[in-house]
Amino acid sequence: MDCSGLPGNPYLLLTPGPLSTTPTVKATMLRDWCTWDDDYNAIVQDIRRRLVLLAGGGTGEGPELTATLMQGSGTFSVEAVIGSALPRGGRLLAVNNGAYGARIGTIARCLGIDCTMLDLPETVPADPARVDALLADDPSITHVAVVHCETTTGMLNPIREVGEAVRRHGRRYIVDAMSSFGGVPLRMADLGADYLISSANKCIQGVPGFGFVVGTRTAMLDCAGNARSLSLDLYGQWAEMEEQGGKWRFTSPTHVVRAFARALDELDAEGGVTARHARYRENQRILAEGMTGLGFRLLLDPAVQSPVITSFLYPEHPDFAFRRLYDALKARGFVIYPGKVSGAETFRIGNIGDVHPADMHRLVGELRESMYWK
């Protein structure tokens, strides 16, 4: 079975990224590009401009926004922001209700940055009132970081309400929108965010190789001289791109960048973030209704469920084994994801990428045939 339209791709990736991409995005990588060439740097500049538009900038409303591309996985970009935005003597408040909120705290500790963790259960969304209280009690906190879509569970955190608390106290606000940007409508001005972080291989449906940061110009200027790393110096990368017309400081993933430009074209052709969000939501609805109809139980309250990835509890049956289900579905053309929740046995199924409602209907049918424990 070839689910992608290209040979050598025998299954759909139902994960939060990397994810299944279109044949045209993959085909774009067949051409080589020179990092110093004006044509290539013009592509980079156009990507930067389009990312700003996706984040709600470029309209004259709210603060002026700018975009920076950064080599590596999305975590590289998160680390670049934490290590560059926090000044010496700064203190971070990180909301932790999943593996990626916890990772922000780990990054801070590795970089020697003082960090307060607001630890919450993995199925409980961020509490703006607790953020507000912590900021009121601790004037040494300079920055607040929260994950929008915590893919540990598939939960959406209330980033707008958290942002209101951060603004009231005049602190900087970092939003990890890794798994939501491009697939869930967001405007940085509405969130009050100073930095928004995502990656090429998520809802914009590119391939892995770089992340990006959309920030206010004021916040980017504040990063000067703060970096704890040469290669992850966010200000250094941004200043180079600003001053040299899209040039990266070090070798860039040229094929991945060109594929991302194509993915942005395809996002526009689909109808933008609103249309993509509607498709992802329909994917998730079909999946959740189909799975619960088969007797599976959702981990999360639907009120906080994202359209990105869905967590299911293991069936209460002694013969159930995730690996056996995984192998059965892979043989039928679908790859799902193991769970990451510490307090429950779960598995996850992604709803993003070049995946459509017909695929989800087909998946539910294959799941029915794969339920060997029934």
Answering whether pTM is above 0.85, one says yes
* Cβ–Cβ under 8 Å, residues 16 and 148: no
Amino acid 301: pLDDT: 95
Give the residue ranges of the chain where pLDDT is below 50.
1-6
Burial class (CB in 10 A: 0-12, 13-18, 19+), 61: exposed
Other CB atoms closer than 10 Å to residue 266's CB: what's the count?
17
Amino acid 17: pLDDT: 84
Separation CA 11–CA 2 (nearest Å): 6
Separation CA 180–CA 149 (nearest Å): 6
Amino acid 60: pLDDT: 66
Amino acid 59: pLDDT: 73
Distance from CA of residue 335 to its chain's centroid?
19
Q: At which residue do the structure tokens 């990626």 appear?
A: 100
**What are the structural domains, with CATH classification, of the chain?**
12-21+272-370 (3.90.1150.10), 25-268 (3.40.640.10)
Separation CA 299–CA 309 (nearest Å): 11
Amino acid 8: pLDDT: 58
- What lies within 8 Å, CB to CB, of 44 at 6+ separation is 69, 241, 246, 247, 248, 252, 257
Amino acid 7: pLDDT: 53
Amino acid 10: pLDDT: 82
307 phi/psi in degrees, rounded to 5? -85, 10
The residue type found at 66 is: T
* Cβ–Cβ under 8 Å, residues 81 and 211: no
Q: Which residues of 308-321 are buried (b: 16+ CB within 10 A; e: fewer)?
A: bbbbbebbeeeeee
* Cβ–Cβ under 8 Å, residues 226 and 84: yes
Tokens (6 digits) for 338: 């193991």
Separation CA 106–CA 74 (nearest Å): 15
Secondary structure element (H or E) that encloses residue 70, with its range: strand 65-71
Separation CA 13–CA 330 (nearest Å): 9
Other CB atoms closer than 10 Å to residue 250's CB: what's the count?
10
- What lies within 8 Å, CB to CB, of 374 at 6+ separation is none
State how far the alpha carbon of 33 is from the alpha carbons of 36, 43, 44, 208, 249, in Å: 9, 11, 12, 17, 16
> Crossing angle of helices 357-370/272-293, nearest 10°?
20
255 phi/psi in degrees, rounded to 5? -65, -40
309 phi/psi in degrees, rounded to 5? -150, 145
